[in-house]
């Protein structure tokens, strides 16, 4: 699942950070509950301007940690390996 990106949310100052964080929270929780992939799309120069403390990254990490063995942080290579049946 892909939520709104930081560019989509913050370009033009349309979204408050709290609303962006809530969208991320809902998306990550849905992905955990449904054993799905959550794809966080962000551009570093936009994210640092709108979220200088990187609260969005911290939120994702905290939610994954709280989920225990029901969630993990992975890169795109790992997702591709699992999709192709190559993961152990």
Walk along the chain (88 residues) and give the pLDDT tens digit of each residue.
567 888 888 877 789 999 999 999 999 999 999 999 999 988 888 889 899 999 999 999 999 999 999 999 999 898 888 888 876 5
Would 13 be classed as within a structural domain? yes
Domain range for 43: 6-83
Number of domains in the chain: 1
Query: CB within 8 A of 34, min separation 6: which ones?
Result: none
Would 1 be classed as within a structural domain? no
**Cα(51)–Cα(47) distance, integer angstroms:** 5
Would 88 be classed as within a structural domain? no
At residue 48, the 3 state secondary structure works out as helix
Tokens 């936009």 — which residue?
46
Query: CB within 8 A of 8, min separation 6: which ones?
Result: none
The pTM (predicted TM-score) of the whole model is 0.85
């Amino acid at each position: 699942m892909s939520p709104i990106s930081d560019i989509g949310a913050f370009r033009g100052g349309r979204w408050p950070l709290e609303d962006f964080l809530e969208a991320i929270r809902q998306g990550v929780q849905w992905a955990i509950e449904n054993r799905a992939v959550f794809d966080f799309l962000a551009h570093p120069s936009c994210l640092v301007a709108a979220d200088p403390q990187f609260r969005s990254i911290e939120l994702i990490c905290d939610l994954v940690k709280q989920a225990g063995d029901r969630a993990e942080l992975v890169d795109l290579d790992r997702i591709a390996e699992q999709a192709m049946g190559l993961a152990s």
